[in-house]
Amino acid sequence: NYVDWLRNVRIVLNSEDIDYVLEAPMPALPAADASPKDHAIYKKWVADDKKVRCYLMASISNALQVQHDGMRDSRAIPQHLHELYGENSRNALFQLTAELYGTKMAD
């Protein structure tokens, strides 16, 4: 499910041209004497990050929303979900081990 979810989220973010937020680190807060262009770039990134966070939070279950509500960096949400549900996650290993121990040899 995680791989499918991430693919679908990336499709939506790509269609909105805000998928860069998950790849690029947040720019530093520009100094007060920085150029208007630097301030505009920062403001756009913050606005796009807010949209990405909303899309991410809307696309996960209520239980996961509560768990990730305190994360303000939208890049941290997929990273944490990958740790929980990614292909090599502990959860997948546990399920595989439980299935292995639950099998019986045929007569």
For the chain (107 residues), the mean pLDDT of every run of 10, in chain order, is 90 95 90 93 94 94 90 88 75 75 76
What is the predicted pLDDT for the residue at 85? 82
What is the predicted pLDDT for the residue at 55? 95
User: Over the stretch 1-24, which tens digit does the pLDDT of each residue have?
Assistant: 888 899 999 999 999 999 999 998
What is the predicted pLDDT for the residue at 90? 62
**CB-based contacts of 74: which residues, under 8 Å, 6+ apart?**
21, 22, 49, 52, 53, 56
| Residues 23, 79, 5, 66, Cα dihedral to 10° | -120
What is the predicted pLDDT for the residue at 31? 93
What is the predicted pLDDT for the residue at 92? 64
Indicate the domain borders of the chain.
Answer: 2-24+33-104
